[in-house]
Amino acid sequence: MRISRRDFLKYSAMASAAVAAGVAKPVNISAASVKTVDVGPCRFCGTGCAMVADVEVRDNGEVRVLALKGDLESPVNKGVLCTKGFYLYKAIAYKERPKGALIRKEWINPVTGKPDLNNCPRVKEGKTTKDPRGLVASEIDLKKNFVLIPWKDAINFVADAIEKSIKEHGKHSVGFYGSGQLGITETHIMNKTFKGGGGIANNAVEGQPRMCMASAVGGYLHAVGSDEPFGSNDDIDEAKTFFIIGSNTAEAHPIMFNRIAQRKYTNIDDIKIVLADPRKTRSGTIADLWLPFATGRDLLLLNAMAYVIAVELDHAKWDVEKGTVDADWKYLDKKFIERHVSFGYIPKVVKKWVHNEYGGTRKAAWDLTYTGAKGEKFSKVHPTPKKIYSSKDEIERDLYKGFAIYLEFLAQHNPDKISDAIFEGESPLLYDRSTRSWKKISGPEAIRMAAKWFAKGPTVSIWTMGVNQKTQGVWTNASIHTLHFITGQAFKPGRHSFSFTGQPSACGTVRSPGALCHALMYDRVVANPFHRKEVEDIWKKRTEAYLKKKGLSNSQIKAELSKIKIHDKPGPHTVEMFRRFGTGQIKIIINSTVNAGQSLPYSWPYRLAMGGAKKGEPWPLTVTLEAFPNATTQVSDIVLGASCWIEKEFHYGQLERRYQACKQIIRPYNNTLPDAIIFAAIMRRLEEKGIVPKGHVSQFWPEHLDDDNKWLENIESFQKQENIRKFTINVWNEMRELSKNTPHDLSGMTYEMLLERNYGYRFPLPMEYHTDPKIKERIDKYQSRIRYAYPYDPLIEKCYEEWVKKLKEWNPVYADWLVEKIEEEKRDKEYHK
């Protein structure tokens, strides 16, 4: 067979990769047997790098991954991968992964040889091999103390345990803890059942992003009224100032860091990079200015920068009573403030430490609470559509009154007075390019320099856990957004306050779809009865159609639909959930794709809880879905071996609102199953037990496998791509419907579109994309680059017209003022690019 020199080098490289992966002698590597296939997104950080794989297809149809590459067509990573991405395929080839459904030997009935909730050494003797201290390596623990059981037995065991727990201790006795590593359609199964699944509807659903991204969620909700970034990665390519705070971008998001570095070196002197971080990190290698603020002093730094911009650079003067602000308006953006900004504040905050006695493994804990001062409203907003105005002048006086209150607050943040408190003896460093060395400068000088660069812009701010994981994380997020808003560094190309996510689908899997105890899908919340009804109605409609197809009578259908009701109280947040598990209030905890036994803050009491065992009862019961042995499997009673990444199909939603489909390329490891199927099988068994409404989950089954008598026996058929794909499509279509007419509208993002375009699409992408040529043209041109801004957001006119129409009915003056400002914006060329 003749092959070109280029192909020879290509296949030689693949052979080397195969050898590196542990294949002693690559088999049948030839031009005919090697091909490149789309993979979808990377499994690591939230950047969303699209991948392709060079695979070897053997004569028996078996597929082996030889090498991973970046997708050259992807606008996210443009063909580049970091080291983690390059070697991802080696991780899933790890030989010590759970091979299927595993249960600790002490749960086996010695007579029947099957797992048993009652007649087993675990219950009768209180015996357990769970190891909270972690003295035995997790790999050895899986081999030594677990036994492989059929999936049918494993599903029945977990379902029986949940049924027993609910009947004996109530529906609040079960909790689920997932993560942003799960796929969107996977988590939806558990979120749907724990929110509206009849006897298990308790809202006890949490995800690991609670521990890392909740502050970012709160910040975006405060700033723009909807979670997730309003800009996109495209802004990096047009920014001239980068303000990196609380993020070691070079290590955590290397592809994004390289993109920033590339932008820097297009014009080294003109592009400015400020690194605000207590530590020296590799991200500083491209920085011009390092602000080493003391840990926890970032709010002071941000307020000092705002003071410099407003008072020193723009010479702002204000009068709170008159509602006036005068300034030079060179750095403060008067037009932007009038068009987009309301100033909201909490009149007085009371912080209080509360000592709570939990008992159990957690014993006692001190919790910090925030409350508004007694007798005062929790927050005030200037201006607000809730207030009826008599004239446009009154609206603007209210706006500037709010601005004046903010400036009054900033008056106490003069850098000359507070820089010592910000830096605590550390000297900021300025990079001298001529000598290629850093030189010390004073704190006030550094703050003034950073503030001027920021205000001049165009500016992109970037942050991650350094800002989010703290007791004042929401306030810090909101303060970054405020800096952007008063200077007009938002909703225009190159201007973006950009929270980077750490997990590959924290945004798409947990944040947007509301997989948290207080939330519902797509900016809805549990506490709002209108939101609950919206979601319930969609679920009921889809379930009714399915049950009719199954042949149930009208009375039977009505009875099942009546069970679909979302509990009206939020469930326990992550830490509270595990505290309750430690006290015995929660009897069963289900973990998936999260190493809770290691990653929870102050994890020891929770390891003790998960690793506990009581004689005479099966509680506490720790159920874990995992692809790898880890600190959580050490304290688990049952480990349900899950397929990983390209062994299954699912969706991810990344940091710039980009959604991508991950395709199944290889067969699942050994006898593992996709997480979505494990979840769904457990919940379908609970449907059969009358706990979960019939059809609530079983409606997602592919029609040819939806046999009430054989579905569980056929569960392993979901190892095949065509079956998991059909299941995933059914779940995805429900999520599209739930997103319709929300700020997260992705109803037009069909599964077929995601399969065809490896790097996916950004939302908003409404159904009108397929029916309205103007919206299609705008999406194709701008790719939903910026939300809430004309012309980038495809929903902007629709939302604006509906909002104004409703507003005019009860606040006509405010509505007319709003129309005037929006029409000004639409004509402003600065917004167009």
Residue pLDDT, tens place only, 629-660: 999 999 999 999 999 999 999 999 999 999 99
- 341, 485 Cβ separation under 8 angstroms: yes
Residue indicated by tokens 């409203």: 377
Q: How confident is the model at residue 775 (pLDDT cuts 50, 70, 90)?
A: very high
Phi-psi domain of 126 (left: phi exceeds 0; alpha: psi -120 through 50; beta: other): left
Mean pLDDT of 57-70: 91
Whether residue 686 sits in one domain with residue 586: yes
Specify the range with the lowest mean pLDDT, choosing from 44-48, 224-228, 710-714.
224-228
Number of domains within the chain: 4
Provide the β-strand partners of residue 245. Answer: 276, 463
**Is residue 21's pLDDT more than 50?**
no
CA dist., res. 627 & res. 559, Å (int): 39
Mean pLDDT of all residues in the chain? 93
Specify the range with the lowest mean pLDDT, choosing from 6-15, 146-155, 235-244, 318-327.
6-15
Whether residue 821 sits in one domain with residue 772: yes
Whether residue 58 sits in one domain with residue 76: yes
Burial of 37 (C-beta count, 10 Å sphere; 0-12/13-18/19+): middle
Whether residue 143 sits in one domain with residue 61: no
- Residue 29: what pLDDT? 43
- Residue 378: what pLDDT? 52
Q: How many CB atoms lie within 10 A of CB 749?
A: 25
CATH number, domain with residue 230 = 3.40.228.10
Which residue among 714, 733, 752 closes a domain? 733
- 636, 610 Cβ separation under 8 angstroms: yes
Whether residue 191 sits in one domain with residue 251: no
Q: Give the DSSP H/E element, type plus range, for residue 263.
A: helix 254-264
Mean pLDDT of 452-460: 98
Q: How confident is the model at residue 532 (pLDDT cuts 50, 70, 90)?
A: very high
Whether residue 233 sits in one domain with residue 191: no
Name the residue among 298, 308, 258 with its Cα closest to residue 275. 298
Provide the β-strand partners of residue 178. Answer: 207
Q: Provide long-range contacts, Cβ within 8 A and 24+ apart, for 133-138.
A: 134/607, 134/631, 134/634, 136/634, 137/629, 138/629, 138/630, 138/631, 138/633, 138/634
- Residue 603 φ/ψ, nearest 5 degrees: -75, -15
CATH number, domain with residue 664 = 3.40.50.740
Q: What is the DSSP string of 7-19?
A: HHHHHHHHHHHHH
Residue pLDDT, tens place only, 82-137: 999 999 999 999 999 999 999 999 999 999 999 999 999 999 999 999 999 999 99
- Residue 210: what pLDDT? 92
Q: How confident is the model at residue 208 (pLDDT cuts 50, 70, 90)?
A: very high
The residue among 151 and 62 whose pLDDT is bigger is: 151
- Residue 372: what pLDDT? 66
pTM: 0.93
- Tell me whether residue 479 is in a domain: yes
List Cβ neighbours of 201 (8 Å cut-off, separation of 6 or more). Answer: 171, 193, 194, 195, 565, 566, 567
- Residue 5: what pLDDT? 39
Q: How confident is the model at residue 745 (pLDDT cuts 50, 70, 90)?
A: very high
- Tell me whether residue 368 is in a domain: no
- Residue 31: what pLDDT? 52
- Residue 293 φ/ψ, nearest 5 degrees: -65, 150
**Is residue 6's pLDDT more than 80?**
no
**Is residue 20's pLDDT more than 90?**
no
Kindly give the pairing relationship between strand 524-525 and strand 317-319: unpaired
- Residue 171: what pLDDT? 97
| Both tokens assigned to 759 | 């790097």
Mean pLDDT of 681-698: 98
**Start-to-end Cα distance in the chain:** 52
Distances 141 to 106, 148, 488, 736 between C-alpha atoms, Å: 13, 13, 57, 42
Whether residue 712 sits in one domain with residue 572: yes
List Cβ neighbours of 242 (8 Å cut-off, separation of 6 or more). Answer: 236, 260, 263, 264, 271, 272, 273, 274, 459, 460, 461, 462
**Is residue 345's pLDDT more than 90?**
no
- Domain range for 222: 214-315+419-500
Pinpoint the alpha helices (H) of 329-391: 334-340
Whether residue 714 sits in one domain with residue 645: yes
CA dist., res. 318 & res. 782, Å (int): 40
Kindly give the pairing relationship between strand 101-104 and strand 146-149: antiparallel
Whether residue 622 sits in one domain with residue 720: yes
Which residue among 91, 113, 139 closes a domain? 91
Mean pLDDT of 805-826: 91
Specify the range with the lowest mean pLDDT, choosing from 212-226, 228-242, 423-437.
212-226
**Is residue 792's pLDDT more than 60?**
yes
Which residue among 500, 521, 542 closes a domain? 500
**Is residue 18's pLDDT more than 50?**
no
List Cβ neighbours of 280 (8 Å cut-off, separation of 6 or more). Answer: 290, 292
Whether residue 492 sits in one domain with residue 589: no
Q: How confident is the model at residue 376 (pLDDT cuts 50, 70, 90)?
A: low
- Tell me whether residue 347 is in a domain: no
Q: 3-class DSSP state for residue 39?
A: strand
Q: How many CB atoms lie within 10 A of CB 693?
A: 27
Name the residue among 225, 114, 804 with its Cα closest to residue 524. 225
**Is residue 371's pLDDT more than 90?**
no
Mean pLDDT of 354-368: 90
Whether residue 727 sits in one domain with residue 687: yes
Q: How many CB atoms lie within 10 A of CB 433?
A: 9
**Is residue 1's pLDDT more than 50?**
no
Residue indicated by tokens 């991973």: 68
**Is residue 17's pLDDT more than 70?**
no
CA dist., res. 439 & res. 431, Å (int): 6
Residue pLDDT, tens place only, 328-342: 999 999 999 999 999
Distances 223 to 301, 345, 347, 363 between C-alpha atoms, Å: 19, 12, 18, 38
Whether residue 680 sits in one domain with residue 714: yes
Residue pLDDT, tens place only, 277-287: 999 899 999 99
Q: How confident is the model at residue 409 (pLDDT cuts 50, 70, 90)?
A: very high
% helix / strand / coil in the chain, to the nearest 5? 45, 15, 40
